[in-house]
Every structure is written in C-alpha cells, then in structure tokens.
Amino acid sequence: MEPTSRFGYPARRVVSDPVDGRLVVVANRLPVRWDPRAGRWETSPGGLVTALEPVLAERKGVWVGWTGTPDHAPEPFEVDGITQVPVPIAEDEVETYYEGFCNGTVWPLYHDAIRPVEIHRHWWRPYVEVNRRFAARVADIVRPGDRVWVHDYQLQLVPGFLRELVPDTRIGFFLHIPFPPPEIYGRLPWRTQLVEGLLGADVLGFQTRRAVLNFAGAARMFGGARGRAQSLEYRGRSIVAETVPISIDADHYRALSLAHETVSRAYNLRRSLGKPSSILLGVDRLDYTKGIDLRLRAFETLLQRRPDLHGDVVFIQVAVPSREQVEEYQVIRGRVEQLVGRINGEFGRPDWIPVYYLYRSLPQDELIAYYRAADVMVVTPLRDGMNLVAKEYVATRTDGTGVLVLSEFAGAAEQLDEAFIVNPYDLDQMAAVLEQAVSLSPDEQRTRMAALRRSVSRFDVHWWASECLASLDG
C-alpha cells in the first residue's frame, strides 16, 4: 500500500514530464510585473507566484498572464527559462474586472464574507470578457500534448471556455484561496456560471478538505454535477476535485537562511533593535484577511498585562502594499497605521520602540534574515487559503528554535498542528499565547519546530506540483 502522511495525503509520487508536452500555466499575473516608473521588471507579489515560479522554472514551461500594467501586452519573452505570454487588461477593466469583480466580489466572498461583498452586474460582464480573452490566448498557443494548468479565483471561467475551444486538451485548475460553504457561495447571482466554468477542468485542486467539500456541494447544488468530489459526473465527463496543499521550495529557503550573509544580517538586525530578549514578527500582504490589526491589539494587551516585558520585546510588522485602489484595503491600512501609532505612543520610551512597521516589499534574502532573527512568528489570518509565510518561517529555522503562532483559520493549520494554534478573534487567548511564546524554553521550541520542519520539508512545493501534475496526467 502507498504510504500516507499523518494527515492522510499520499507520500511523494515521482512523475516525470511527458517529453512531448509542455506545461502551460495560466494565471492573472505573470511571475514578473512591469514597473512603468522604474522602467523594469520585478517579481510579482503574493503566494501564487512564490509557489509556482520554482516549479515552472524547473520545467521550462509557458506562463500566460498579465504584466500588471493596464493595456500592456508586449510580445512573448523569456525569463529564467519560462516563456511569458502577456494578455492585455485595459484600464477600465483594471477597475471593473480586477479591483471590482475579483477583489471586491470574489475575494471577500470566498474568505467567508469577512468584509462586505459588493455585487455589480457591470463588474461581472468584464470578468467574463477578460476570462474569454485569457482562454483565447491559450487556445492560440497550445499544442497537442500540452497540459494547461489554470490558477486562482480571477480565472474561474477559463476552464469552461477552454473546454469549448480545445476540447481534447487536459485542463487542470488550482484554487489558491478558500472555497466558501454553499450558503455563502450561493449569494452570488452568477453561482451557476462560475461552477460550470470550473467544471470545464478535468481535475481541480484545493488547499484544504473543507474547500473540496464546499466546492463539490456547490457543483451539485448549482452546477447539476453528481457524485462525490473524487469523481464528479458532469455532462458525460468525470471530474476529480482533490486536496493538495500548496507549499514552498523548502530547500531553497533553508539554503538561503544558512548563507553567511543572512546569518550576519539577522545578527545585525537584532543588534540594531537593542538586542531585545524576544523579537516577534508578522509578514503579510496588507490585506484585511490577514488579521494584522487584531494581532497588534493582542500585542498591546500583552504589554498592558506585563509591564516587566517593556523594553525587552519588540514586534516587527512587514506589510507589502496590495490592491491599494480598493477601498477596504485603504481602510485596513489606516487602521493598522493608527494602531502602530497608538501602541508606540502609549508604551514607547526614548530607549525602546515596541512596534516597527515597514510598509514595503523586501527582497527575499532580506526577508529571510528577518525570519532568522524572529523568535516568534505571528501568522494570524482571519481566513487564508494556505499561508506560505508560516512555511517559509519554519524552513528558515535551521537551528531548530523559534515559535510559530498560527491561526486556526489558515489552510496551513491543517498540516502544521504543532504550532501554537489560535483563534485570531480571541484577543485574550492570543495575548496569553504570545506571553507563553516569548518565554518558551529552547527544548520545547525544538520539539515543536522539529515536527514542523519535517512536515514542511516533506510536503514541499515539488511534492505539491508532482501531486497536481500526476492527477492532470490522468
């Protein structure tokens, strides 16, 4: 019998790429984005690119996506062995398709409606239009034997359109964010069209079991599919929906963490903070799903409860600017910055700043130095598909120390149960866990971290890709 992991996923299956077929990845963003002000390409933000980039670089595949600049679609070009095929998105579509339907409707809805879900017909129509354009671009370039792998919530109609345009192509879809329960999903006026679009794929991958069950429920309820997730019957085809938790290139993070330069950077960081006994760290896109505000309030509660820790603990929050034109993102940014000011104003002293706040993207080697320096990593989203930051932290803890505090509402909690699991809405519990974390004995840290490291290194991004591609190969 095939060995399985503790949480029931099969152990690594070794698959090689078929020699005669390319892997064509389709995602809203290319792995590089054009910065018109600096006039250069830079790495795109977010977990989707972090995870997929090493997989595709290894296979020298094709990536179809948007450059991030309106009306910008240069001819296909190559970066690190990946052929980049740009798809244009017009300026008005950035507002209606990207900021509107993708990030004002689907994003909050799929994250359990933790923020108001805006529903507009004039956002839906451009979503259909842009999805049709992506599918047409793929159909232009796809060759017999290629496998097409469509990604994430921005492109849910693409599998259906592709099924019409290139019916014999094997099509996979992976959803990087949660799929909500049918009673939330069912609010959407276009609930049938979206599941029908997804059911155009041969195989659908999700981050958690809960997402698979929710999707299968929606597919039966709104799409007329029949049967169980593992074999949904739809229009004479059989479709597989499965749990395949995404991950990181753990070896890469481990190697970068061990580099001499990273070690001295981490040391210098601690020294520049006045050598506190404990550094707590948060690293996120500045998104309301990440729970940054509640996390800061939990830290504030800790400082209120434990004056003896003043001067001795420091919280660093690194936040990457994200979706800055969307109103809810402006609101959360205001709230986070106000909280940082409030905590520093209330507790700070000339010789101690409790919260350091960085509103920018850091180069990967610098980010890893922050992970190395952090004694406690605080990952407390209100809802998250997976959360790669948690896995990155674990992979960089090469000496086996460090404490991971993780929200029960992150997909990662299904795998990383040796972390300190918290309910991010419960400020008292979170403060108590932070209190425990800053004084955890090195022995206890090592026991928990060893288990976390085993899980992250075994179920890494290569395992994830092998699983997904083995299913896609059928």
By CB under 6 A, name the binding residues for ligand G6P: 29, 45-48, 152, 176-177, 322-323
Residue closer to ligand ADP by CB (options 179, 190) is 179
Residue closer to ligand G6P by CB (options 177, 449) is 177
Q: Long-range pairs for 425-432 at CB < 8 Å and ≥24 separation? A: 425/294, 425/382, 427/294, 427/297, 427/298, 427/301, 428/301, 430/294, 430/295, 430/298, 430/301, 430/380, 430/405, 431/298, 431/299, 431/301, 431/302, 431/305
Minimum distance from residue 63 beta carbon to ligand G6P (Å): 13
Among 5, 192, 301, 361, binds ligand ADP (CB under 6 A): 361
Judged by CB under 6 A, the number of residues near ligand ADP is 16
Which residues, other chains included, contact 188 with Cβ-Cβ below 8 Å and sequence gap of 6+? Answer: 105, 109, 119, 194
Minimum distance from residue 67 beta carbon to ligand G6P (Å): 12
Please list every residue from 102 through 161 that binds ligand ADP, using CB under 6 A: none
Residue closer to ligand ADP by CB (options 386, 403) is 386
> Is position 295 an interface residue for ligand ADP (rule: CB under 6 A)?
no
> Is position 223 an interface residue for ligand ADP (rule: CB under 6 A)?
no
> Is position 410 an interface residue for ligand ADP (rule: CB under 6 A)?
no
> Is position 387 an interface residue for ligand ADP (rule: CB under 6 A)?
yes
Enter the tokens of residue 163: 């099924």
384 is catalytic: yes
Phi, psi of 83 (to 5 degrees): -80, 125
Cβ neighbours around 259 below 10 Å, total: 13
252 is catalytic: no
Which residue in 211, 386, 371 sits closest to 289, CA to CA? Answer: 386
Q: Which does 29 bind (CB under 5 to 8 A by kind): ligand G6P, ligand ADP, none?
A: ligand G6P
Give Rg (Cα) of the chain.
Answer: 22
DSSP assignment letter at 417: T
Q: Which does 323 bind (CB under 5 to 8 A by kind): ligand ADP, ligand G6P, none?
A: ligand G6P
Angle (deg, nearest 10), helices 260-272 and 364-373: 60
Q: Which residues pair with 64 in a beta bridge?
A: 26, 85
Residue closer to ligand ADP by CB (options 304, 330) is 330
Interface residues with ligand ADP (CB under 6 A) are 46-47, 50, 283-285, 318, 320, 361-362, 367, 386-389, 392
Which residues are known catalytic residues?
Answer: 176, 384
